[in-house]
Chain A
C-alpha cells in the first residue's frame, strides 16, 4: 500500500561576491560578481537551468502525461524564483506548465530561505507572507503544507505553523527523535490539534540524492527495478514513503551521464507494477492517512550532515556572530520603511551564507566544500562581514 510522496527543493541563494573592506562605502552591489563564475549568480542560474531544471522538468511533464497517477511536489525559495525570472524565464514557464497539470503541489517556505524562525517570529511570518504572494502571482496557487529552511524543525515550529493555518509540515525522519517509530506514517506534532507531520525517509531519499552514482556503494548501480523492490518491501509496514531531496539532484549533483534521468524515467512504471503502490502529494497523504502517533521533538532536527542539527549553519563562532549581527538590526531595517533596504537585509539572511562559513570540513566536509563558492569558510565570513558593514552604514544614512 505505500504511497510514494516526492518533494523536491528548488533553491538558489544570492551568492555574495568577493567584497573587500576597501569596497565599503563605494560599492553597494553585493550580489553581482562579474569576475568569478562560481559566485556569478546569473552564470549559475543559467548553468543549473541547462543541466537540471529544464531537462528534469521535461522528464516530469512526460511522466505525468504517460502516467496520470504520477504526482510530485516542489518547494521553491523566493530567491530562486526571482533569479529564474530574471535570468532564465523559460524555467518559470516550464514549472508553470507542470503546475497546470494538477499533478503538482507547491509547498510554502520562507521567501529568502532563511533561518528566521530561530531568530525572529515576526520576520519569519513576514517571509512566509512574501512567499505566498509570490507563489500566488506566478502559479495562481495557495499552498497548504509548509517546509522550513533546511528542514529545520521542532515542536515550537509546528505549533506556530499550525496557527498560520497549514494542515501539514515536513521534517527529517531521523531515528534519534523517532525512538523506534517508522518515518513511513503520518504523525501529529506535540501539542497541536490538526496539523500533520510528514517525515522524510532519509535512507531511500539519500539512495537517490547522494549514493546514486557512488561506485563504492554496495548497491551500485541503482536501477529502477531494484528501487521498486525496496518500495514494495515497505508494503504492510508503512503507508507513505516520503522522498525529499534537492531538485538539483537531477543533472546537477548527479550528472546526466550517471543515468539519473533514465532512472527517473523508468521509476513510475516500476513502482506502479505493484497494484498496491501509488504516488501522492503531501496534502493527499494528509487527506488519505490518519495520524499514527504523536511525535515530540523538542530539539532542532534538520536534514544536514551526520548530526542532523543546525551546526552546519550555527556551529562556530563566526557563524554565530554573523547571525547575531544580521538579526540585531531588524528593528532599524523595518523602521527604515525602505523596500530596497529590507530586500537586501533579507537576502543576507539566506542560510547558504552561513553554510559557507562552516569549518567542520574534515568529518563530513566534502559536501560543504563542493557546494561553497569560496576558497575557505574564512573567505566567506570576511566578505559577508564587509558587506554587512556597508549595509549598516547605508542604513544609518537612510
Chain B
C-alpha cells in the first residue's frame, strides 16, 4: 500500500496534538509495511538533522517538503506576521492564509502527478484542498482525517466562514472520512450535513514508552500540584480551570495550580488569575516540550483538561502514561475511551472544584485513578489505530477499483 499523505508538523517541532497524532500514525503504518510519502509545509526550523532522525525512525516514509509559510493552528494574523518577515524571499506566497492554502493545494497537485500512490490521506482543513487537488490529478481515493473542525477551534463563536466552507467542500469531496471520536463524527454530521456511513471513528492513542522512562524529578513544593496543559485558547477552557482553582483554594490552601502552554489567551489568563485573587497559587510555565513536558506531567498530582470542545484530546493519555490521574471534560472525544478518570461538564466549575478537592484530600482516590487509568490506556496503541486506518485504505481502494 502506497499512501500520499498531506500533514502539518512532526514532533519535536509540533505545537499540538495534531503533530503527535500524525507522527504516531505514520510510524505505526510504516512498521506495518505501508509506504508513505509525507508532504509537509517547510518551516524555518526543519533542519537536515531533523530529517535524518525522521527517516531513521520511519523507514518506509519519505518526506516531501513544500516551501510555504503554513504552520499548524495558524490564524490569519499570524500568517501576515510571517508574510511580512519573509518579504525578501523570492517565492510568491499567498496574500492571506486562505490564499496560501490554495497555493499549497496547487503544489499538491503537482506532487500527486510525480509520486506513485494508491490512496491520498489528508489531515484537517489546511490540507483538505491539497487532498482534493491531488485526487483530481491522480484519480485515487481520498481519505480525510478530521482531528478538529472550525466549530471546535472557534468554540462556536466567531468561526471563519472561509475555513468553514473549505471544510464543508473538502468533507463532501472525500471518499471516506476518519473522525477521531463519535463526538467529532456527530459534529461533522450536524454541521456539514454528511452521510454518516462515510465516516469511520478511529481513536488516537499514546506511546506509553515515551512517558514511562525514569526522568528524575521531584515536586519542589510541599504542596499538591494540579496541572493544566494545552494551548491557551478559548476552546481549551483555561478560564474554567482558573475559576475552579479559585473555589478549590477557598477550601484548601495547600495546593499549586500550574498552567502550561501558550496561545492567544495567555495574557488574559495571567490577568484573570490576579483578578481572582489566586495569583500567588497559579504558576505559568509557557510552552513546554520534551523532557520539560515529561517532568511537568510527572510532578503533577492531577491533570485537568477542561476543554469546551475537544475532538479527541491526547494529553490525558500522556498524563496517564506518566502515572498522573486525570479529570476531563465530558465535551471531549477521549471521554469515550476513558472510564478510569473523573469527568465533568466544562462549565460546571463547582463540580470541577469538588472533584479536584476530592483527589487532593483522598490519597486512595488518586491511587485508584492513577493505577486503573494507567492500565486502561494499554488498549490505546498507535498500532491499533494504524490497523483500523489500514482497514479503511483497503476498503476504499477495493471499492474504487
Which residues of A are interface residues toward B (Cβ below 8 A)? 20-22, 316-318, 320-321, 359, 361, 375-379, 381-382, 385-386
Contacts and interface: CB of A to CB of B under 8 A. Distances in A.
A22 B350 contact: yes
A245 to B, nearest CB: 29
Chain B: interface secondary structure?
A: helix
Contacts of A318: 362, 364-365, 368
A363 to B, nearest CB: 12
Contacts of B351: 20
A385 B351 CA distance: 15
A385 B341 CA distance: 17
B342 interface: yes
A21 B247 CA distance: 11
Nearest to B342: A378
B90 interface: no
B362 A359 contact: no
B362 A381 contact: yes
Nearest to B358: A382
B203 to A, nearest CB: 17
A382 B364 contact: no
A110 B292 CA distance: 55
A135 to B, nearest CB: 37
Given A318-B364, A376-B343, A378-B342, A22 B369 contact: no
Contacts of A316: 364, 368
14 contacts: A21-B353, A316-B368, A317-B364, A321-B362, A321-B364, A359-B372, A361-B339, A376-B342, A376-B343, A378-B340, A378-B365, A382-B355, A385-B361, A386-B358
Contacts of A375: 343
Interface-central residue, B353, B364, B367, B372, by most chain A CB under 10 Å: B364
Interface residues of B, number: 22
B354 interface: yes
A379 B339 CA distance: 12
Nearest to B357: A21
Interface of B: 247, 251, 339-343, 350-351, 353-355, 357-358, 361-362, 364-365, 367-369, 372
A364 to B, nearest CB: 15
Chain A: interface secondary structure?
A: helix
B396 to A, nearest CB: 33
A21 B362 CA distance: 12
A307 to B, nearest CB: 17
A313 B350 CA distance: 29
A22 B349 CA distance: 12
Contacts of B365: 318, 378, 381-382, 385
Contacts of B339: 361, 376
Contacts of A377: 368
B364 A320 contact: yes
A379 B362 CA distance: 13
Contacts of B364: 316-318, 320-321, 381
Nearest to B375: A362
A20 B354 contact: yes
Nearest to A359: B372
A317 B354 CA distance: 20
Nearest to A324: B364
B35 to A, nearest CB: 37
Contacts of A379: 342
5 cross-chain pairs, A with B, having the tightest CB-CB distances, nearest first:
A317-B364, A20-B354, A382-B358, A321-B364, A318-B364
A321 B368 CA distance: 12
Contacts of A317: 364, 367-368
A179 to B, nearest CB: 34
Contacts of B355: 382
A75 to B, nearest CB: 32
Contacts of B247: 22
Contact of A378 (B251, B357, B368): B368
A385 B350 contact: no
A20 B351 CA distance: 7
Given A20-B350, A318-B364, A386-B358, 13 more contacts: A21-B354, A21-B357, A317-B368, A318-B362, A320-B364, A359-B340, A376-B339, A378-B341, A378-B365, A382-B354, A382-B355, A385-B358, A386-B354
Contacts of A21: 251, 353-354, 357-358
A124 B372 CA distance: 33
A244 B362 CA distance: 38
A318 B370 CA distance: 12
A366 B362 CA distance: 27
A35 to B, nearest CB: 13
A376 to B, nearest CB: 7
B224 to A, nearest CB: 15
Contacts of A386: 354, 358
A22 B354 contact: yes
A17 to B, nearest CB: 13
Contact of B368 (A20, A22, A359): A359
